[in-house]
Amino acid sequence: MMKRCSRLLASLMPLLVVPCAQSKEGNATPIRVAIVKMPYVGERNVPDVSRGPDYLEQGGILKLLEDHGVQTKQISTVALTADEEKAYGSWNHLALASGDLAKLVSEGRRSGYLPVGLLANCNGILGMLSGLQHSGPTARPLRVAMVFIDAHGDFNTPETTLSGMLGGMPVAIAAGQCLTRMRIKAGLEPAVPTRHIVEMCVRDTDPLEQELLDRSDIQQLTLEDVRTRSANLHREMKRLSETTDVIYIHIDMDALDPREVPGHPLAVPGGPTSIELAAALTEMFKYEKVAALGVASTPFDDRDKAGVSRQAAYNLILGAVKGVQQRRNE
């Protein structure tokens, strides 16, 4: 197993080269990236925080970005206060932490940075979306859209879920379908209309969850749309750009080919490689209103002994950065 993972890692080592953007005077004008770690999980009967975000940082993500011409700042980490830690309930902790994440995302965007969230799991979308929603020049909430890239729809509610996992509900929560108090405590108000959500690579849903998706206005893009960077992909990006103020791109690592996330407990066959998805991200981040990236659920430590998953996550981040660079050069 280790030899196979090592060979796969070696095949993925050539990173996407991101050239530095040039100003009219020929001076380098690197994009600015603010990395935020969100370790809070929100699931019951598991540790409150995950080491996944730390694992991505410890692999040298800042140096990697700087080597590709990106200006970075000290990484921020969401941490509850002593009083918040005393508050009861894992879901409550997640909502409080999401509000703190939102402040960091909002501050980063207002300061001219591209926020990149290293997220414990997909529950981090609440803070990422809230931060973008409240990152405008006035108190008026911005119209925020989301492209959600995952093997799962994450559109369950407490009434439809078969597993009871909160991690299967965040898109439904963000869209105002359930757990309203959690969403509001995270600062995401109003909810995101389903017509402002696009899902990609979804291939594993619960029966009642699929019924909810079918009745919603969420648009679905396929693996083929990713691999070909299709007209469908660009049509949806243009639609979101025309109807909203700011767009968030979110990736659960289980969206990928399982060979690149060998330690992921929820991997599903039929996903793209990180190189294929990174190329699609480059196309998506060329759109001016795309303003943040989140990478969630990266296997870590013993689950990623050969570093395959961490390398895949880095490929995705660099693909997004490349899109912003090309946006500036066009």
What is the radius of gyration, based on Cα positions, of the chain? 18
Confidence check: pLDDT of 26 > 60: no
Confidence check: pLDDT of 20 > 70: no
Confidence check: pLDDT of 146 > 70: yes
Q: What is the pLDDT of residue 202?
A: 98
Query: What is the rounded distance in angstroms from the CA atom of residue 303 to the CA atom of residue 312?
Result: 14
Confidence check: pLDDT of 17 > 70: no
Q: What is the pLDDT of residue 29?
A: 73
Q: What is the pLDDT of residue 28?
A: 53
Could you count the other beta carbons within 10 Å of the beta carbon of residue 121? 26
| Of the candidates 32, 50, 47, the residue with the CA atom closest to the CA atom of residue 253 | 50
Mean predicted confidence (pLDDT) in 116-122: 98
Higher pLDDT, 44 or 312: 312
Confidence check: pLDDT of 145 > 80: yes
Confidence check: pLDDT of 25 > 50: no
Higher pLDDT, 43 or 64: 64
pLDDT tens per residue across span 266-275: 999 999 999 9
Q: What is the pLDDT of residue 44?
A: 81
Bridge partners, residue 32, by sequence: 71
pLDDT tens per residue across span 284-298: 999 999 999 999 999
pLDDT tens per residue across span 173-227: 999 999 999 999 999 999 999 999 999 999 999 999 999 999 999 999 999 999 9
pLDDT tens per residue across span 75-88: 999 999 999 999 89
Confidence check: pLDDT of 13 > 70: no
Band of residue 16 on the pLDDT scale cut at 50, 70, 90: very low
Confidence check: pLDDT of 27 > 90: no
Q: Tell me the percentage of the chain whose pLDDT exceeds 90.
A: 86
Q: Which domains does the chain have, with CATH numbers?
A: 30-329 (3.40.800.10)
Confidence check: pLDDT of 319 > 60: yes
pLDDT tens per residue across span 153-172: 999 999 999 999 999 999 99
